[in-house]
Amino acid sequence: MEAPQAIADTPLPSAGRPLSRRRRWTFRLAAVALGLLPFILFELAFLALGWGRPELHDDPLVGFSSVRPLFVPTSDGLGREIPPSRLPWFCHDSFAVPKPAKEFRAFVLGGSTVQGHPFARQTSFTTWLEISLAAADPSRTWRFVNCGGVSYATYRLVPILEEILAYQPDLVVFYTGHNEFLEARSFEHLQRGGLITGAVDAASRLRTFTLLREGYLRWQGRSSPEPAAGRTILPTEVEALLDYRGGLERYHRDDAWRQGVIDQYRFNLRRMVRMCRARGVDVLLVNPVSKLRDCPPFKSEHSADLSADQLQRWQDLTEAAAAQLRRGSLGYPRALELYQQAVEIDPLHAGGLYNLAEVCDLLDESSMAKAAYIAAKDADVCPLRILRPMNDAVLEIAKQENVLVYDAQKLFAKHSNNGIPGGDWLIDHVHPTIAGHQLLADEISSLLVARGVVSAPSDDWQSVRKARYQEHFDALDPLYFEKGMQRLKGLTDWAAGRAKQLRPGEAETGAADSKSDALERSIAP
């Protein structure tokens, strides 16, 4: 009878006791980890095998009717060059294949700023970079291949990047952001916070996701190059709205479309950075600069919710402020008050914001002036200059992806009167002067030297650079500068919406309308 008593006195196992909070969370995390383990193993296996590279999945936002290579074999077969068929959009450039042993090769992708507009590659920062780095280290060949395309936005740069990554770049430089609003496209097939932001954007970085997506498309009888439903299909080359007569009239305030463009820019910039990093290629992002002073908005519209009385009040205030400005400096303070009242009525009218910026500038209220200039740029209904959220995206992506960045916006502000970039360094709304391109090249060179890309430069390399800059500049034909100024005139007219070319399909309609009008006039009483 002793044994049962001993058993009864022995404490029971703790199987029935409630688990502590810490142990419950440990079990939950272990279960989650166990569930994710197969996906982690698949991802590592696909990475080792080189399958399902995320950067090669098709763009969910736009497609192209066809894509042509930017570079073709040279006639002697010893290199690659931009062919004549692409010269309406690009400057001629070339490079050797295979890559020479002592060559540092960089490709510079972007729009007409990269190309050196309104001049050409010979005075672009890409050429000055070659000269600068050769002065710092003449033992190597420095090639900065110019891939700047007129009116090319980030979505048109992606196929070019896929192409040039096969040509052994040591560095890819991106200077892009001014051309994102030039072509008409729709984002209606995307839900806000959907594919280009949030969870799917994060998942699309995974090779497992990419392969599952490709398998689904094939099961549906489609392949990834085929366009997603509702995706805009663009022509092979750029067809900007402003390339055609009436292009400026097609721009209106559309906040949803504007946000779609910003999201697409962020999506493609990040995507291209990851494409480079997946190949082990270094990246330099350049944060683009815009002209603020002496650059009125290209199109302004009033807020849609203003009443007739508010519109009239805004107009009266604006006219009264203009009258005060005609009085000279004595009228500036009162003009400032009146313009501030007008902006309070309509804070979205780009012209009103620009008026405020100019009078602040006249009064040497630099901080207020710069803020108003930037607000006027961002409120422009025809955005031909990069928007502030896009400038922010360049810096954020560089930090998040741990790649080099150079802030050209800050550089030009530093060298401008009161920190407001104007005509002293920018020849028009976005294109630097030749001196501006040299300034940018100087600073990027110094960055690359500081990062050890150039080893042990000589102490006097900057003096040597200055002399070689002058030699290169003096060797340019005077006709080079004349053609540049002619392009500047055409560019100014284009930005003002003065294109004379009719959009395809509109010429016939116009002719028919003219015949109809003539017939009506002939039978009119």
The CATH number covering residue 149 comes to 3.40.50.1110
The CATH number covering residue 353 comes to 1.25.40.10
Query: Could you report the per-residue pLDDT of 259-284, keeping only the tens digit for each?
Result: 999 999 999 999 999 999 999 999 99
Contacts of 235 (CB under 8 A, 6+ apart): 64, 65
pLDDT attached to residue 321? 98
Examine residue 12 and state whether it is found in any structural domain, yes or no.
Answer: no
Examine residue 153 and state whether it is found in any structural domain, yes or no.
Answer: yes
Please check whether residues 336 and 475 belong to one and the same domain: no
Please check whether residues 117 and 265 belong to one and the same domain: yes
Q: Which of 379, 408, 431 is the last residue of a domain?
A: 379
pLDDT attached to residue 201? 53
pLDDT attached to residue 303? 97
pLDDT attached to residue 215? 62
Please check whether residues 280 and 152 belong to one and the same domain: yes
Please check whether residues 245 and 283 belong to one and the same domain: yes
Q: Which domain holds residue 209?
A: 62-294+386-495
Alpha-helical runs (H) found in 326-460 = 332-345, 350-362, 366-379, 388-401, 408-414, 434-450
Question: Which residues of the chain fall short of a pLDDT of 50?
Answer: 1-15, 55-56, 191-197, 200, 217, 222-227, 508-525
Angle between helices 308-325 and 332-345 (to 10 degrees): 160
Please check whether residues 91 and 123 belong to one and the same domain: yes
Please check whether residues 322 and 404 belong to one and the same domain: no
Please check whether residues 356 and 399 belong to one and the same domain: no
pLDDT attached to residue 272? 97
From residue 343, how far is each of 255, 312, 315, 375, 460 by CA, in Å? Answer: 19, 13, 11, 11, 53
Ordered DSSP codes for 308-335: HHHHHHHHHHHHHHHHHHTT-GGGHHHH
Domain count of the fold of the chain: 2
Please check whether residues 272 and 315 belong to one and the same domain: no
Please check whether residues 268 and 332 belong to one and the same domain: no
pLDDT attached to residue 16? 52
